[in-house]
Amino acid sequence: MTEQFETLYRESLEDPESFWARAAEDIDWSKPYDKVLDRSDPPFYRWFTGGELNTCYNAVDRHVESGRGEQTALIYDSPVTGSCLRFSFAELQQQVATVAGALSDLGVGKGNTVVIYMPMVPEAVIAMLACSRIGAVHSVVFGGFAADELAIRIDDCQPSVVLSASCGVEPARIVEYKPLLDRALEIATHSPKTVVILQREQKRANLDPDRDVDWRDWVAGAEPVGCVAVGATDPLYILYTSGTTGRPKGVVRDNGGHAVALKWSMRAIYGVEPGETFWAASDIGWVVGHSYIVYGPLLNGNTTVLYEGKPVGTPDPGAFWQVIENHAVNVLFTAPTAIRAIKKEDKNGDFLATRQLEGFRTLFLAGERTDPATLRWAQSHLNVPVIDHWWQTETGWSICACCIGIADIPVREGSAGMPVPGVMVTALDGSGAEAARNDIGALAVRLPLPPGTFAGLWNAKERCRDTYYSRYPGFYDTADAGYIDDDGYVFVMSRTDDVINVSGHRLSTGAMEEVLAAHPDVAECAVFGVHDDLKGQLPIGLLVLNSGTDRPEQEIVSEVVSLIRDRIGPVAAFKTAAVVARLPKTRSGKILRGVMRRMADEDPWTMPATIDDPAILDEIQSALKTLSRRRSSDE
């Protein structure tokens, strides 16, 4: 840890009020705040109470007023539709103000909720900013989400208006949104007053004349409106994340702390200056899309990229590098899953070698743990720093990172870096005491959480307390497990329920996956524990091989079993693995280990609403049954 970083970090913990007050100077306030940190209702700490501001003004209007109106604010790149559009800050301001006026004409105002159920199109970003412009609370639901899940969200947040589109466009198919939305509204008990539909030429939708409005007609008759000041602690958005009970949790983000933290993070963590181009290859339906496609870059005066495509197949494994070259991207933030998908199809980096990436300087990864093999592949082919970092929907920005905008902190393979300023991470053992260095434990963050983290759950204060704060009083329970090494680097190894107990030994499935991923023929993998009458649990592994691998599968399986024995030891009792064509994942790239574990144990399980392709689970269930028969015969 450098002296400069250590000084800042220490101050952020010892005197958070002074630290974050300085950061708040970079935000334009309509009314100064009375108190930086309100400690009156722990664990529900609040930031910048009494202050007023407008997030849209800080993200858009202030740049126009400061003379940056002609700078490109938003690039829409859609290989699936063959289109590319650019919006300057001045153009974005005009369109956002007009949509805000159209919402106002429907009676939407300060404190009302609006559901946005749209694909990766500019209108979706404009809708988010338009809501924040008039003080409305937006809730973005991933486009194409199942009707049942959409209905649950509509009933929970009770929107005045739903903004949607006729369809989404995938590389090989059109996903019709309107029938899904219609079905959700049939199921839901709450009925929004109006549904606005953006008609896309790839598939137009039938509109209900009593409820539905065509987006273009709706906007055509609207007058632009200005920004409405809201309280710093007023909600900016609700973003639903999966809950352990099957009922989604509506994570609430406030306006003041969110604006302060995200603007600070763009320079301190990602090292980008105003005017540079930042690309988060995610979706606006996820927290990464909220924080780093829309709000963070625009608050910092960056050009941001909205990409309607995939890392492979639109058109090839060089798609990401083409976007970086075409739009002079300086920093890319994506999921390790995306890099593994590219590596699987282009192991030697041939598609990368043809691109001119002179201005590209950093790759950030988050969403799943970055295994060292993937990290090394990206470093060797891109020749730039590759930085894994860790955060969650609830936190809204980094818990741990290598903050390259503050100091030159070396990357450590397998680690998500060090806790960022404002965050104190502790590994706790089963009794709630601090674990020894290098011992795996439950990772928790000492309260108060910094600004920009969640204010709570929508209309569910006690559920929030029970879920996040009850297990370890004085801490936020991340539900992730890992360890902290002697130098303070944090290693996030798995979800807490993915730490398995083999004959009394607590073992990390993430550590085993790291070993498997290092095999030259393995593109990606998953390890999870299954019930065993003798040992309690035993690990099993599923492997996806690199494209073009022609070696016998059983030979590769034997080699990875030997690797686990050599590098982790016989205590792991890792004897069972199989090759599969693909792994089940959420649309954000997280591998569904919990579902596979329940399948293997023959426990009840439900189809996850966030799954990318439900058909994969049939393939996985077949593979797990084969493994079960093999284990039985071995015994």
Residues 411-454: pLDDT tens digits? 999 999 999 999 999 999 988 999 999 998 999 999 999 999 99
Share of the chain above pLDDT 70, in %: 97
Q: Specify the higher pLDDT residue, 95 or 514.
A: 95
Q: Which amino acid is at 199?
A: Q
Could you identify the residue written with the tokens 């973003």? 239
pLDDT level of residue 632 (50, 70, 90 thresholds): low
* Strand partners of residue 279: 332
Taking only the tens place, the pLDDT of each residue in 128-168 is 999 999 999 999 998 888 888 899 999 999 999 999 999 99
pLDDT surpassing 50 at residue 244? no
**Phi and psi, residue 421, nearest 5°:** -55, 135
* Strand partners of residue 507: 500
SS3 375: helix
Largest separation between any pair of C-alpha atoms in the chain: 74
Over range 542-557, report the average pLDDT: 92
pLDDT surpassing 90 at residue 368? no
pLDDT surpassing 80 at residue 10? yes
**Residues near 10 by beta carbon (within 8 Å), at least 6 away in sequence:** none
Instruction: Give the pLDDT of residue 421.
Output: 98
Tokens encoding 306 = 């909205």
Out of 115-119, 505-509, 568-572, least confident range:
505-509
Taking only the tens place, the pLDDT of each residue in 52-94 is 999 999 999 999 999 999 999 999 999 999 999 999 999 999 9
**Homologous superfamily of the 508-634 domain (CATH):** ANL, C-terminal domain (3.30.300.30)
Tokens encoding 160 = 């005045």
* Reported pTM: 0.87
Over range 549-578, report the average pLDDT: 87
SS3 600: helix
- The sign of the dihedral angle between the CA atoms of 579, 582, 584, 590 is positive
pLDDT surpassing 80 at residue 503? no
Instruction: Give the pLDDT of residue 243.
Output: 54
Tokens encoding 354 = 């043809």
Mean pLDDT (the chain) is 92
pLDDT level of residue 245 (50, 70, 90 thresholds): very low
Taking only the tens place, the pLDDT of each residue in 196-233 is 999 999 999 999 999 999 999 999 989 999 999 999 99
What's CA 521's distance to the chain center, in Å? 28
Domain ranges of the chain: 508-634
Taking only the tens place, the pLDDT of each residue in 582-602 is 998 877 677 888 888 888 888
Is-contact 210 216, C-beta < 8 A? no
Q: Secondary structure of the chain: what % helix, strand, coil (to 5)?
A: 35, 25, 40
pLDDT level of residue 366 (50, 70, 90 thresholds): very high
